[in-house]
Amino acid sequence: MLLYMGSISLTQQLDYYSLVHDQLVQQLGSTPAQTHLANSLFLVVIGSNDLLDYFNKDSNVSKKYTPSQYVHLMASTLKQFIKRLYGLGARKFVVIGVGVIGCCPEQRMQNNDTSRCNEEANYWSTKYNIRLKSLLKELKLESHDLTHSYFATYRAMNALIRDPQSYGIVEIKEACCGLGTLNADMPCLPISNVCSNRSDYLFWDLYHPTEMVSHMFADLIYQGSPRFTLPVNVEHLVHM
């Protein structure tokens, strides 16, 4: 899919960061560089595209792994990624969980009844999030100076889907920008239809939330209660 063609692999991203790490050590010295990195926030936002790829109707990945195997592979790969970042000085992590991906317009289109979410995709999203929280606890036990803030995207998004009016949302199924059924036959392009009031919508395009919803989530990540950000929010994490 074109969605993934421009992505940079985790291994390559780590290699790039390793170069930055070495440059900081050269410029600042070893101890000041470590102090700087230990006080920096490392934002980890990953998993949604992997699961969307798996549950795409033309998926090749689903032919190689069962959902359980795939979720385990995602989590174990991420754990090694964070451990390597830790070895290169990272101590504070902001980790974003996977949202209710089965309810995005693209996944609704997988059903004959587009009013329904793809419940299988949602089920395995919750399973991945459970594994993600577990591995963060494991890492904390292995490295006591590692701290993190986990944002429960699924819980926040599900609250909005269940009671959209309370959040000022009118449309939770159809994308604001696109073409065809649910505006989900293709991505947001110059030829696409665009809704007149995007703040009424949960989804901007086939997959992504609108700017207003993203602002809601950003506020929760920074100042949210333990219902959504745990064990601490980012505001607290910064001062730890």
pLDDT at 37 over 50: yes
- Torsions phi, psi for 66 (to 5 deg): -75, 160
5 is a domain residue: no
- Residue 114 amino acid letter: T
Mean pLDDT of 38-54: 95
Residue 193 falls inside a structural domain: no
Domain assignment of residue 24, yes or no: no
**Count of the separate structural domains present in the chain:** 1
Domain that holds residue 142: 12-19+40-162+211-238
Strands 193-194, 177-178: pairing is: antiparallel
Whether 217 is in a domain gets the answer yes
What is the mean predicted confidence (pLDDT) over 186-202? Answer: 94
Q: Which tokens in the block code for residue 170?
A: 């009118």
Provide the token pair at 196: 């007149």
pLDDT at 81 over 60: yes
For the chain, how many helices (H) and strands (E)?
10, 8
pLDDT for the residue numbered 6: 67
Query: Does 181 reside within a domain?
Result: no
Tell whether 153 is covered by a domain. yes
Rounded-to-integer distance, Cα 44 and Cα 150, Å: 10
Of 10, 9, 98, 12, nearest to 55 by C-alpha is: 98
pLDDT tens digits along 132-190: 999 999 999 999 999 999 999 999 999 999 999 999 999 999 999 999 999 999 999 99
- Is 92 inside a domain boundary? yes
